[in-house]
Structure 1
Amino acid sequence: MTIQRIVIGLVQNHQNHYLISLRQGDQHLAGKWEFPGGKAEAGEDELTALARELEEEVGLEMTQAELMERKVFEFDDRTLELHFFRVTGYRGEAHAREGQPLKWASVEELRALPFPKANDSVIAVL
């Protein structure tokens, strides 16, 4: 089984809210909330992949990010190498470029909403 490298951006605004979106019906873990991000392509470093994913998914130009956590998470059908970044600098206004529900959520909301289990540790330290 191959390992997929996944980059995840915890995009924080000036009100200390984080950008999240709802996974759609045909996606793995549909109905769960997630931070924006996606698969790193072959030969692409994690920061480059994150900048590309943020532009593609939510229309933001990332200017500053730092790695918060890296971990391997195994599902029955796949293994993911997750790279969680705190995004502290960006330009633009977030909008759903893939039709997904999008919202800014406080840390309290993040803790109450359904997220994939792999997110628990980073949400706990926010």
Structure 2
Amino acid sequence: MQQVTKLPNGQLSEPFLVESRRTSIYSIIIERRKLMVKNEKLSLQMECTLLFQSHPYMIENLEGLALRLGRKIEDIKPVIELLIHQQIIKLMGSNKESPLYCYNEPVVITDMDIKSELNNL
């Protein structure tokens, strides 16, 4: 026979229900922490992107980026790797000890042939 406990609101509950609520609260806390970390990485990704877009001719290493952004190198490195993968920035040279990064200017098309598009309608 299982023991019944009285909750603060006067309802009766079995111990396993109380334990399952406790477990549920812990899982919610863990999920919120994961979300906070994800939001922090997104924020840092935006900061890095804006830094390179604002200074398109800047060439910088991880130490310099950490100094400019006021962040730790360990936090910046995975974000820089993601931005390289997304082709927002590019790696310059082959110096593996202190790699240099620069902004990868997007291709802009200035000529448009609107007449041919209108004829297709």
Superposition TM-score, scaled by structure 1 size: 0.23
Which entry has the higher C-alpha Rg, 1 or 2? Answer: 2
Larger % of helix: which? 2
Larger % of strand: which? 1
Superposition TM-score, scaled by structure 2 size: 0.24
